[in-house]
Amino acid sequence: MKGLLAQKFEMSQLVLPTGEVAPITWLKAQPNVVTQVKTVDKDGYVAVQIGAGIDKHPSKALKNHLKELDAKRMKELKAVTELKRGDKIDLSIFEVGDKVSVTGVSKGKGFSGTVKRHGFSRGPMSHGHDHHRAPGSIGPMGIARVLPGKRMSGHQGAEQVTTRGLKVMAIDLKAGTIAIKGSVPGSRHSWLLIRK
């Protein structure tokens, strides 16, 4: 079981020994704590719940669930493990060169049109045309309704996204930071799940 909760810190660049410049995202990962170990006998499936951060105002339900532990964000990893409740996990589970997947909530873009949301091509912009960024036809003539799944304007972003096949470029155990090549979902300070 190799997974960790971390916070997106900032994007930067890393100069490689070959002289190439690689874009990287820095993530800050405090030691995670195992908040619950789920078993087939008790819960019907096998999983490990990990938590990170410090919650200043936890709800009564969360206080009762965590008891002596403290966590602001929690995630479940479906895996068989020898870890017990209260065990700590840090960045030492990853190595430079590892391929990881990062899951987080993407940036919200609000209500977006079809050009921005789906990449529709726009109409002519001159010579008296009034069809610039409108979606155009939304259905066939024979069916007097709009078919389900039609790509249209609507709320864009603010949904869970997983980016796979990212490479770990650097790890600083002392500072508790990890550098991942490329971009990852979410805004600054948002919580992400890194999985090997």
Q: What percentage of the chain has pLDDT greater than the value 70?
A: 99
Residue 32: in which H helix or E strand, if any? Answer: strand 32-38
Here the tokens at position 31 are 């030691």
Across the chain, what does the average pLDDT equal?
93
Q: The pTM is what? A: 0.86
pLDDT mean over 115-131: 94
Between vectors from CA 160 to CA 154 and to CA 162, what angle results, nearest 5°? 125
At 154, the pLDDT band (50, 70, 90 cuts) reads: very high
Span 85-94, average pLDDT = 92
| Structure-model confidence comparison of residues 30 and 169, the more confident one | 169
Is 162 within 8 Å of 102 (Cβ atoms)? yes
In the structure, what pLDDT confidence band is assigned to residue 79 with cuts at 50, 70 and 90? confident
- Alpha-carbon span 73 to 71, nearest angstrom: 6
DSSP symbol at 147: P
Task: Give percent above pLDDT 90 in the chain.
Answer: 87
Quick one: pLDDT at residue 81? 80
Q: Which of 85, 84, 97, 100 is closest to 29 using CA atoms?
A: 100
Residue 1, pLDDT > 70, answer no
Task: For residue 178, list its beta bridge partners.
Answer: 27, 171
Q: Per mean pLDDT, which range of 2-6, 76-80, 93-97, 171-175 is the poorest?
A: 76-80
CA distances (Å), origin 59, targets 38, 50, 52, 53, 62? 22, 18, 16, 15, 5
Which residues, including other chains, have CB under 8 Å from residue 113's CB and lie 6 or more apart? 133, 135, 153
Query: What pLDDT band is residue 82 in, cutting at 50, 70 and 90?
Result: confident
Domain architecture of the chain: domains with CATH: 1-56+69-108+161-196 (2.40.30.10), 112-156 (no CATH)
The mean pLDDT of 3-19, rounded to a whole number, is 94
| Average pLDDT value for residue range 33-59 | 92
Residue pLDDT, tens place only, 95-115: 999 999 999 999 999 999 999
Strand duo 3-15 + 47-52: pairing = unpaired
Provide the pairing of β-strand 160-172 with 154-156: unpaired
As a whole number of angstroms, the distance between CA 167 and CA 96 comes to 8
Alpha-carbon dihedral angle through residues 170, 31, 59, 64, given to the nearest 10 degrees: 150
How does pLDDT run across 157-177, given as a tens digit for each residue?
A: 999 999 999 999 999 999 999
